[in-house]
Amino acid sequence: MRINPITAKPNYYHTAAITKAKGEVTAEGRKDLTVLNHLNLTCNQAMINFKGTTDISRMLIKQIPLEDKLASLFQNFKLGDMILIGKNMHECAKEMYKNAGLIKNAIKRGFFIPDENLGGSLGFIKNSIGDTEVINLNDFEIPLITNNKTYPLKAHESFYVVQDDILSINGNLLKIKDEPKTDMSMYRKNFSKAFDFEKEANHNIEKINKKTISQLMQASRKSTTPVTFAQVGGLHKLKNSLKKDIIYPIRYPEAYEGMELNHGFILYGPPGTGKTHIARALANEAGANFISLNGLDMESKWVGESEANWRNLFEEAKENQPTIIFVDEFDAVARKRDNRDVYGDKVVNQILTLMTDIDNENADVYVVAATNNFKALDSAITRSGRFGKHYEVTPPDKEGLREIFKINTRNRKVDENVNIDKMLDKLADAKATGADMRHIVNEAHNNGFVRAGIFEKMENGTLTGQDVSGFKIAQEDFDKALDDFLKDKKDTARKPIGFIRNQAS
């Protein structure tokens, strides 16, 4: 099948249209030339709108390749923006309405690019981690060609796109470009319609945020969870450091009188290694209030405009001192954009200012930020003294795993013949985390219930107290759990092309 690309024509649209116009100097043509001159020379956008364009200028606009129109809008594309492309704006919006669940932030600006030739309709949004996502608004699959591989973008699915990806819509190719062939900012109004919903969106965001913050305030008043350091396996060095850095200053303030303390900490390492777990235990051991937040949730809920909410949060933390604020997935908040540091990012600056206040006031507020991707953090955060201490949290060694095994089996019966050492060796080789260990023990327990017919008895109501008291997790139960885990780990090692936002969230 021949595939017709929607790409730049050899005669670039601009000069081609002007030449054509110049060849036909009729009364109408003169009018057209005036419009073109406006387009070309005066750049007076306000005078030309899509509705008012003449045939010739409409023809000119039609000749701009769709990929360049889109790329021109991408130059100013930001969180809260949405671009729709298709034959008819009403139809596109109707389809987008059905897919609204794929957008995790409030829409503040909408753009529509009409296109007769595309053979379908598409939506584009910027997500909270700065990626551009395409949303397939059609009832058919769209091949997305990326790095010579084809990913089938299913109907009503979103996927992130990068420069040079190609979408094939009913045989028409649409290339993703970060920039158009030439600067077309002055023509944007002519080839797209723009809508501004900022005021209304901000009003609603404020309402939602106030509700969220008030829930947070209530949550922070609840007593902290009863996790203690004894329930954290391994991580001995980290526990010792946190005792000296946070627990003792909170417990024995008189010993730290006049001393400058560090109030910002970054824990980094793979998921499941116990960063959240140790932060909970830390708050409990210190007798501090614990506020736990997730950077990714905050970025989507607060739509990147969260300075006021951060201020409220710190205010609440100060009012309830001592407080430990734990921010998981910190990179979603303090992340480099396009791999560059974002000096001047409003949220990052706000957090740093609040941390400076905490330092200056020597408040009993400590911020423990966790990330799986330290390198993604903006260096405004990592290099500043405000988050001065960085601790790597690695998967446990064999002895760490043994401690985590004991923690997870302390309320369960394990058959004395189980070869724990052999299992720990395999898990240490596989770089299993504390979360993996918890999972394996739970699975082994379930396997044991199946083997002993306990689930079956639960189902038919014949379970007795003896069945439960005589139950022990056996070697074969652990073996199966371990095999399944190792197999799963192998299967998930291969990452798919791109990142399927709606499945991941």
Least Å from the CB of residue 238 to ligand ADP:
9
Q: Coil, helix or strand for 62?
A: helix
Q: Is 121 in the site for ligand ADP (CB under 6 A)?
A: no
CA distances from 19 to 24, 41, 113, 185, 218 (A): 9, 15, 25, 22, 69
CA distance 111 to 89: 10
Please name every residue paired with 159 in a beta bridge, in sequence order, or none if there are none. Answer: 134
Contacting range for ligand ADP; rule: CB under 6 A; set: 77-85, 102-110, 208-216, 275-283:
275-283
What number of other Cβ atoms are within 10 A of residue 468's Cβ?
13
Q: Quote the tokens at residue 187.
A: 């023509």
Map residues 341-380 to x or -, x wherever contact with ligand ADP holds by CB under 6 A. -----------------------------x----------
The Cα 498–Cα 310 span in angstroms is 32
**94-102, 135-143, 268-276, 412-420 -> range binding ligand ADP (CB under 6 A):** 268-276
CB 408 within 8 A of CB 232: no
Residue 122: name the closest of 80, 161, 164, 149 by CA. 161
Q: Does 322 sit behind a cis peptide bond, omega within 30 degrees of 0 on the bond before it? A: yes
- To the nearest whole angstrom, how small is the minimum distance from the Cβ of residue 89 to ligand ADP? 44
CA dist., res. 187 & res. 185, Å (int):
5
- Per-residue binding string, ligand ADP, 436-475, x by CB under 6 A, is --x-------------------------------------
Closer Cβ to ligand ADP, 130 or 269, answer by number: 269
Min dist. Cβ of residue 434 to ligand ADP (A): 2
Nearer CB in complex with ligand ADP: 59/407: 407
Among 119, 264, 295, 434, binds ligand ADP (CB under 6 A): 434
Strand order in the sheet with 264-268: 289-294, 323-328, 365-371, 264-268, 389-392
Smallest gap from residue 437 Cβ to ligand ADP (A): 7
Sheet holding 142-146, edge to edge: 149-153, 142-146, 166-169, 172-175
In the complex with ligand ADP, the residue whose CB is nearer, 126 or 277, is 277
407 interacts with ligand ADP by CB under 6 A: yes
Q: Regarding beta strands 193-196 and 109-114, do their DSSP bridges make them parallel or antiparallel, or are they unpaired?
A: antiparallel
Minimal distance, residue 75 CB to ligand ADP, in Å: 37
Residue 277 is a binding residue for ligand ADP (CB under 6 A):
yes
Is residue 402 within the footprint of ligand ADP (CB under 6 A)? no
Place of tokens 């504390």: 434
Residues that contact ligand ADP, how many (by CB under 6 A): 17
- The reply to whether 275 sits near ligand ADP by the rule CB under 6 A is yes
When asked if residue 274 is in the footprint of ligand ADP (CB under 6 A), the reply is yes
Between the alpha carbon of residue 297 and those of residues 230, 303, 328, 382, the distances in Å are 30, 10, 10, 21
Q: How far is the CB of 426 from ligand ADP (least distance, A)?
A: 18
| Cβ nearer to ligand ADP, comparing 172 with 224 | 224
**CB of residue 252 to ligand ADP, shortest distance in Å:** 26
Distance CA 382, CA 330 (A): 11
**Count of all residues that appear for the chain in the document:** 505
What SS3 state is found at 505? Answer: coil
Number of CB atoms found within 10 A of residue 338's CB = 7
Q: Work out how close the CB of 400 gets to ligand ADP at its nearest, in angstroms, rounded to a whole number.
A: 7
| Nearer of residues 198 and 397 to ligand ADP, judged by Cβ | 397
Ramachandran angles phi, psi of 446, nearest 5°: -60, -45
From the list 74-82, 89-97, 230-238, 251-259, the region that binds ligand ADP by CB under 6 A is 230-238
- Asked if 16 touches ligand ADP (CB under 6 A), the answer is no
Does 21 bind ligand ADP (CB under 6 A)? Our answer is no
Interface residue list for ligand ADP (CB under 6 A) = 232-235, 271-277, 370, 404, 407, 434-435, 438
